[in-house]
Amino acid sequence: MSFTIAEVKARVKRRLKLDPDTSTGDTQFDDLFLDFINDCHVLLNAKLMTINKGWNETSADQNIVSGTDNYTIPSAALMLTSVFWKDGDIYRSIPEKQALRNMDYNPTDSNGGIYAWFFRDGKIILRGIPAENITSGLRVCYYPEITDNVAGDTVTDTNIIRSLYTLYCCKAFRDSEGAKFNPFESEFGGLMGDWYRVMVKRYAGISTRDVYTEDGVLL
Rounded percentage of the chain residues whose pLDDT exceeds 90: 50
CA 191 – CA 199 distance, rounded (Å): 12
pLDDT at 207 (0 to 100):
43
**pLDDT band at 161; cut points 50, 70, 90:** very high
Q: Cα 62–65–67 angle (5° rounding)?
A: 140
**Domain boundaries defined on the chain:** 3-53+147-204, 58-144
pLDDT at 101 (0 to 100):
72
What are the CA-CA distances from residue 33 to residues 28, 150, 174 (Å)?
10, 11, 12
pLDDT at 51 (0 to 100):
77
Phi-psi group of 17: left, alpha or beta (phi > 0 → left; psi -120 to 50 → alpha; rest → beta)? left
Average pLDDT over the chain, rounded to an integer: 85
Alpha helices per DSSP H over 116-182: 159-176
Asked which of 26-30, 68-72, 82-86 is least confident by mean pLDDT, the reply is 26-30
Residue 124 has pLDDT above 80, yes or no: yes
For 130, which DSSP code?
Answer: -
Neighbours of 40 (CB within 10 A): 23
Angle between helices 159-176 and 5-16 (to 10 degrees): 50
Q: What is the pLDDT of residues 38-69, one digit of tens each?
A: 999 999 988 888 876 666 789 999 999 988 88
